[in-house]
């Protein structure tokens, strides 16, 4: 019997989009509430930056570990079970975030929430990639991305309209996640996974990604393609208030910059998905968006944020549009690997990209304190050049995956 053909507005795509909405709401909520929450918890002004970097690193560590665990479970137990379990974990942890009373509690709860968050997007992309016709995968990915990143916009306005009540922001995020569980109940499993499950093909064996040189290099490139995205989000935008100080710009609001960046990222993700379908090439689209990102990085540092808060917001939006390749590179990673490892890869790749942020922060910290550079701004743009070069090289060595038949396994 032929498997059911799903359209771009079918239940798997809609639920994936809503899941990504809640995922991004929670993931970026710490960046939006960082100053207000840490200040209320008694962190002095001169420690906000360092403690903020530390908590962000713990969150990314949770995403890294969770990405590997949920990815393996997705191939062993099924995509549907990962979607259900991961959203339950991060929803409960997000509610708990609203009750923290000190930085230590905050650190551990963000770590646990990140463990849960790690399973959402990759499992959704894996499932929709396997259920939808190959010609529609890019469009479905664009829909998921477009709907999902509105989570950041929602988080910003809830934080703003609630007079920076960061605890309420976490309660609402957890409540939305729990509500989403009801939509998961009638979700169908991938027919490709169901077929592989019937035979003795090894599934979810993470060591298979490490014990074969060609497969390991393919996996590593899938990760490094996404690094420029989190250089933009995790360094330039997350600490844009610090850059505004360095540039001598007054009246700059970091949560607003993050929200505007994600407004632009909505259009970037949509554009990347549609453009890859039009060009019939993932690789050409990635090169184009890397070029856009490089252009706005240049504007950001050469024009020193544009000289005013308004101009800096515009440049942050340009950076957001250029970095709108998140779902595209996750889709590309899913398309590169067989059904028995697809969830392991698609779930772990975006989280390992996020998990590289602490290493990028260490590189940034080293460069800004190095005797050669010894400058916050210089250290930041040199870090960006290195990260972007790694991404471009990785794309150049990766095979095109547009319209690739996904009904195969890794042996």
Measured distance CA(284)–CA(266) in Å, rounded: 20
- Position 99 scores a pLDDT of 95
- Position 151 scores a pLDDT of 82
pLDDT of 198 above 70:
no
pLDDT of 402 above 90:
no
- Among 60-64, 178-182, 331-335, the minimum mean pLDDT is found in 178-182
- Among 146-150, 242-246, 297-301, 338-342, the minimum mean pLDDT is found in 146-150
pLDDT of 297 above 70:
yes
Measured distance CA(84)–CA(80) in Å, rounded: 6
Dihedral sign computed on CA atoms, order 290, 56, 30, 147: positive
Whether 148 maps to a domain, the answer reads yes
CATH number, domain at 51? 1.20.1250.20
Among 297, 300, 298, 292, smallest CA distance to 275 is for 292
Spatial contact of 350 and 121, defined as CB atoms under 8 Å apart: yes
Dihedral sign computed on CA atoms, order 272, 277, 279, 282: positive
Q: How confident is the model at residue 1 (pLDDT cuts 50, 70, 90)?
A: very low
Which pairs from 371-376 meet CB under 8 Å and 24+ separation?
A: 376/242, 376/243, 376/246
Q: Please give the mean pLDDT across all residues of the chain.
A: 85
Number of separate domains in the chain? 1
Spatial contact of 18 and 147, defined as CB atoms under 8 Å apart: yes
Measured distance CA(237)–CA(243) in Å, rounded: 9
Kindly state the percentage of the chain with pLDDT values over 70.
92
If you average pLDDT over residues 136-160, what whole number do you get?
Answer: 78
- Position 391 scores a pLDDT of 96
DSSP for residue 158: H
pLDDT of 135 above 50:
yes
Q: What's the CA dihedral at 71, 75, 81, 85 to 10 degrees?
A: -20
Q: How confident is the model at residue 203 (pLDDT cuts 50, 70, 90)?
A: confident
Measured distance CA(157)–CA(29) in Å, rounded: 11
Cβ neighbours around 284 below 10 Å, total: 16
Spatial contact of 330 and 121, defined as CB atoms under 8 Å apart: yes
Helical spans, DSSP H, in 77-149: 79-97, 103-117, 120-131, 137-148
Whether 199 maps to a domain, the answer reads no
Q: Can you give the residue range of the structural domain that contains 54? A: 11-186+206-396
- Angle formed by the axes of helices 339-355 and 357-369, to 10°? 30
Whether 289 maps to a domain, the answer reads yes
Whether 401 maps to a domain, the answer reads no
DSSP for residue 232: I
Whether 381 maps to a domain, the answer reads yes
- Position 232 scores a pLDDT of 95
Whether 322 maps to a domain, the answer reads yes
Among 106, 126, 71, 96, smallest CA distance to 355 is for 71
Measured distance CA(356)–CA(223) in Å, rounded: 9
Specify the length of the chain in residues: 411
Q: What is the pLDDT of residues 76-120, one digit of tens each?
A: 877 677 777 888 898 899 999 999 999 999 999 999 999 988 887
Q: Which bin fits 305, alpha (ψ -120 to 50), beta or left (φ > 0)?
A: left
pLDDT of 66 above 50:
yes
If you average pLDDT over residues 397-407, what whole number do you get?
Answer: 86
Whether 250 maps to a domain, the answer reads yes
- Among 202-206, 322-326, 331-335, 337-341, the minimum mean pLDDT is found in 202-206
Whether 380 maps to a domain, the answer reads yes
């Amino acid at each position: 019997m032929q498997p059911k053909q799903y359209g771009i507005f079918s239940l798997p795509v809609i639920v994936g989009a809503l899941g990504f909405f809640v995922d991004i709401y929670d993931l970026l909520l710490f960046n939006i509430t960082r100053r207000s929450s840490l200040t209320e918890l008694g962190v002095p002004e001169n420690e906000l930056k360092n403690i903020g970097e530390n908590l962000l690193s713990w969150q990314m560590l949770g995403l890294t570990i969770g990405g590997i665990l949920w990815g393996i479970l997705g191939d062993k137990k099924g995509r549907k079970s990962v979607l259900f379990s991961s959203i339950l974990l991060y929803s409960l942890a997000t509610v708990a975030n609203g009750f923290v009373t000190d930085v230590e509690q905050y650190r551990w709860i963000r770590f646990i929430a990140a463990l849960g968050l790690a399973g959402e997007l990759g499992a959704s992309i894996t499932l929709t990639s396997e259920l939808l016709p190959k010609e529609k995968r890019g469009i479905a990915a664009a829909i998921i991305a477009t709907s999902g990143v509105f989570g950041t916009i929602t988080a910003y306005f809830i934080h703003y309209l609630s007079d920076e009540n960061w605890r309420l922001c976490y309660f609402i995020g957890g409540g939305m996640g729990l509500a989403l569980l009801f939509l998961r109940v009638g979700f169908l499993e991938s027919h490709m996974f169901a077929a592989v499950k019937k035979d003795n093909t090894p599934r979810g064996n993470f060591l298979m990604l490490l014990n074969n040189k060609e497969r390991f290099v393919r996996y590593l490139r899938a990760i490094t393609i996404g690094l420029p995205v989190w250089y933009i989000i995790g360094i330039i935008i997350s600490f844009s208030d610090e850059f505004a100080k360095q540039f001598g710009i007054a009246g700059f609001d970091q949560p607003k910059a993050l929200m505007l960046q994600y407004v632009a990222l909505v259009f970037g993700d949509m554009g990347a998905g549609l453009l890859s379908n039009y060009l019939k090439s993932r690789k050409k689209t990635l090169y184009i968006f890397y070029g856009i990102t490089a252009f706005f990085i240049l504007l950001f540092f050469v024009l020193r944020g544009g000289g005013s808060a308004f101009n800096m917001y515009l440049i942050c939006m340009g950076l957001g549009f250029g970095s709108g390749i998140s779902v595209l590179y996750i889709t590309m990673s899913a398309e590169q690997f067989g059904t028995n490892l697809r969830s392991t890869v698609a779930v772990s790749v975006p989280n390992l990209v996020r998990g590289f942020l602490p290493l990028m922060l260490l590189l940034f910290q080293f460069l800004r304190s190095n005797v050669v550079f010894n400058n916050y701004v210089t250290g930041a743009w040199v870090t960006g050049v290195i990260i972007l070069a790694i991404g471009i090289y990785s794309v150049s060595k990766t095979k095109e995956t547009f319209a690739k038949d996904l009904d195969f396994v890794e042996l």
